[in-house]
Homo-oligomer: A and B are copies of this chain.
């Protein structure tokens, strides 16, 4: 840490380019997913050659892993900003709302579904796994607290609540509602949050 007091111009250029690459991958992963995204189109989008891209990331898998790791970091930052003491349910709702908005803005790279060829790779990628564990610990605490307060259904297993929240940003319902064109982004966010936490049935 202490040795990088003043990054050189070259280092800053390198970091800037790397950030631009990850931004592009965010967008491609959101639009096409890992398997349909190609290294050619990433290089083209960033405006560099494919060989240069491979100087930054040794493989397509590592590139996706870096992007997903940065997403978890971003999520941890957002959580640190907007979390409120003793309001676990509100915190969980705010997180879902934020992630749906990120999805609608095209910045939400697909969380690895179990079917994707990248999934197994991610489970072995230590930086990602560790950060995801940190996030899971925070959410787990909120879930337990919300259940203790009677806000979240206490009869639901914690994993069910956790996975249901993790799955929201890649919910195909978001895209279907967006495609139809009949709803604003705010209405879509509200629809997802309402159905996620309140369900389809009328509240008694």
Using a CB–CB cutoff of 8 Å, the interface residues on chain A facing chain B are 31-33, 35-36, 89, 92, 110-111, 113-117, 150-154, 156-157, 159-161, 163-167, 170-173, 175-177, 179-180, 182-183, 191, 194-204
Question: CA–CA, A153 to B114, complex, Å?
Answer: 32
- Complex contacts, A182 vs chain B, CB 8 Å: 157, 159
Copies of this chain in its oligomeric complex: 2
Asked whether A151 lies within 8 Å of B202 as measured between CB atoms, the reply is: yes
Please, which residue of chain B has its CB at the minimum distance from the CB of A117?
Answer: B36
Asked whether B172 lies within 8 Å of A167 as measured between CB atoms, the reply is: yes
Asked whether B172 lies within 8 Å of A114 as measured between CB atoms, the reply is: yes
Asked whether B202 lies within 8 Å of A201 as measured between CB atoms, the reply is: no
Asked whether B203 lies within 8 Å of A203 as measured between CB atoms, the reply is: yes
Question: Given that A115-B31, A153-B201, A200-B153 are known contacts, is A173 also in contact with B167, CB under 8 Å in the complex?
Answer: yes
Looking at the complex, which one of B117, B172, B180, B202 makes contact with A150 (CB distance below 8 Å)?
Answer: B202
Question: Given that A31-B115, A114-B172, A114-B176 are known contacts, is A197 also in contact with B201, CB under 8 Å in the complex?
Answer: yes
- Complex contacts, A116 vs chain B, CB 8 Å: 33
Question: CA–CA, A98 to B47, complex, Å?
Answer: 49
- Complex contacts, A167 vs chain B, CB 8 Å: 171-173, 176
A155: shortest Cβ distance to chain B, in Å? 8
Please, which residue of chain B has its CB at the minimum distance from the CB of A35?
Answer: B35
Looking at the complex, which one of B35, B111, B191 makes contact with A156 (CB distance below 8 Å)?
Answer: B191
Q: Given known contacts A195-B199, A198-B201, A204-B204, what 20 new A-B pairs fall within 8 Å (CB)?
A: A31-B115, A32-B115, A33-B115, A33-B116, A36-B115, A89-B201, A111-B172, A114-B179, A151-B201, A152-B200, A152-B202, A153-B202, A159-B182, A163-B172, A165-B200, A166-B176, A167-B171, A167-B172, A167-B176, A199-B199
A133: shortest Cβ distance to chain B, in Å? 15
Asked whether B159 lies within 8 Å of A177 as measured between CB atoms, the reply is: yes
A74: shortest Cβ distance to chain B, in Å? 20
